[in-house]
């Protein structure tokens, strides 16, 4: 199946910057003043797909909004600060992107962020459920394997849950896989597409190199090293930044790529496919990342995993236990959240 899937060429900086199409989408960024939020908001401001960009955070948002508002593109930028302005930032939102939360430091796993980020995500998504229940919700805040179940449970509590509208943004795993494969094979990374399934942490990140387009082959030892690098690429950045943060710029790029794909699909563009961590029946896990056909109403069709190599099947099997634990942790948190 995936041999026929090619992502649109990344002409210009990003697809959303190079398209001539316009739409009047209102996009809200929750956590807009942070390390991911600022570059993400800059990329979104550049897109003709967006007419209104609402920026929310607990500090510094008016300054970020004022700065971005001077850029000569059509998106009108407004800044909101503090809990009392959160509902206003979400009013009439078509898409909400949530990079809010604390970043990883050296020695931390994504799961170590759970206690802080779980509360932040629950609070923000509760505001979404109350103010813009029909919006597409794109969660960047880690650990995604738990924050997506949290989001779903919060929406269920408010009786507005639509599994086709809630996305865990795992696009950075795909971006990294494309880049690393291209480097090893001397290819143009904009023309490489590696589906990445599973989750968004360590061994739950499962790159399907066997389904890469164009087709590539690696000896088993090199394949294992490549997969290991993709799975631990976030830690590579955390270590390189030596306590000064985690992957912010590449995550902003990946987040923007996903939002532009979603807006293109909502705008009526056909054949838009992105991987995302969503409610799923593809495995025994209730949430799982696979390639999705996006449409006007979010997920049009889950394309599943396709044919896996024996090595990939083994990785999926080994990831299930950890994924189930992370999902349950998120669900339990949300059920007790007041």
Q: Which residues are catalytic?
A: 200
Is 3 assigned a ligand-binding role in the annotation? no
Q: Is 234 known to sit in a ligand binding site?
A: no
Angle (CA) 112 113 114, round 5°: 90
Which residues 6+ apart lie within 8 Å of 262 measured at CB? Answer: 95, 136, 138, 167, 272, 274, 294, 298
Helical pair 61-69 and 37-45, crossing angle rounded to 10 deg: 30
**Structure-block tokens of residue 87:** 């509902």
251 is in an annotated binding site: yes
CA 81 to chain centre: 23
| Residue 101, annotated as binding a ligand | no
Q: Is 15 annotated as belonging to a binding site? A: no
| 188 annotated ligand-binding residue | no
Residue reference for tokens 């007041």: 338
Nearest to 289 by CA among 168, 197, 171: 197
- Residue 82 among known ligand-binding residues: no
Report the first-to-last Cα separation within the chain, whole angstroms: 44
Q: Annotation-wise, does 201 bind a ligand? A: no
According to the annotation, is 12 in a ligand binding site?
Answer: no
Would the annotation count 51 as a binding residue?
A: no
The annotation status of 32 as a binding-site residue, yes or no, is yes
94 is in an annotated binding site: no
Q: Is 110 annotated as a binding residue?
A: yes
| φ/ψ of residue 161, rounded to 5 | -75, 125
Binding residues for NAD(+): 31-37, 57, 117, 140-142, 251
Binding residues for substrate: 104, 110, 142, 176
């Amino acid at each position: 199946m995936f041999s026929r899937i090619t992502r649109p060429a990344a002409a210009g900086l990003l697809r959303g910057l190079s398209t001539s199409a316009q739409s009047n989408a209102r996009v809200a960024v929750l956590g807009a003043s942070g390390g991911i939020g600022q570059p993400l908001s800059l990329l979104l401001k550049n897109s003709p797909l967006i007419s209104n960009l609402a920026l929310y955070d607990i500090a510094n948002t008016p300054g970020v909004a004022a700065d971005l508002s001077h850029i000569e593109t059509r998106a009108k930028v407004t800044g909101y600060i503090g809990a009392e302005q959160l509902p206003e930032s979400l009013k009439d939102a078509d898409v909400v992107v949530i990079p809010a939360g604390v970043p990883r430091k050296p020695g931390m796993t994504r799961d170590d962020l759970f206690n802080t980020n779980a509360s932040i995500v629950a609070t923000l998504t509760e505001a979404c459920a109350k103010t813009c229940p029909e919006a597409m919700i794109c969660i960047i805040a880690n650990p995604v394997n738990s924050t997506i179940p949290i989001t779903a449970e919060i929406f269920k509590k408010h009786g507005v849950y639509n599994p086709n509208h809630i996305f865990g943004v795992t696009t950075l795993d795909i971006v990294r896989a494309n880049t690393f494969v291209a480097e090893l094979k001397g290819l143009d990374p904009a023309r490489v597409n590696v589906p990445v399934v599973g989750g968004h942490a360590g061994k739950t990140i499962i790159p399907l190199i066997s389904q890469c387009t164009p087709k590539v082959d690696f000896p088993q030892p090199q394949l294992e090293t490549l997969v290991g690098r993709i799975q631990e690429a976030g830690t590579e950045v955390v270590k390189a930044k030596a306590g000064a943060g985690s992957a912010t710029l590449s995550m902003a790029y990946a987040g923007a790529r996903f939002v532009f794909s979603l807006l293109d699909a909502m705008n009526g563009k056909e054949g838009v496919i992105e991987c995302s961590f969503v409610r799923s029946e593809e495995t025994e896990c209730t949430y799982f990342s696979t390639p999705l056909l996006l449409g006007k109403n979010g997920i049009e069709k889950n394309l599943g995993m396709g044919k896996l190599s024996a090595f990939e099947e083994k990785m999926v099997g080994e990831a299930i236990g950890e994924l189930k634990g992370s999902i349950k942790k998120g669900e339990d948190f949300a059920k007790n959240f007041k």
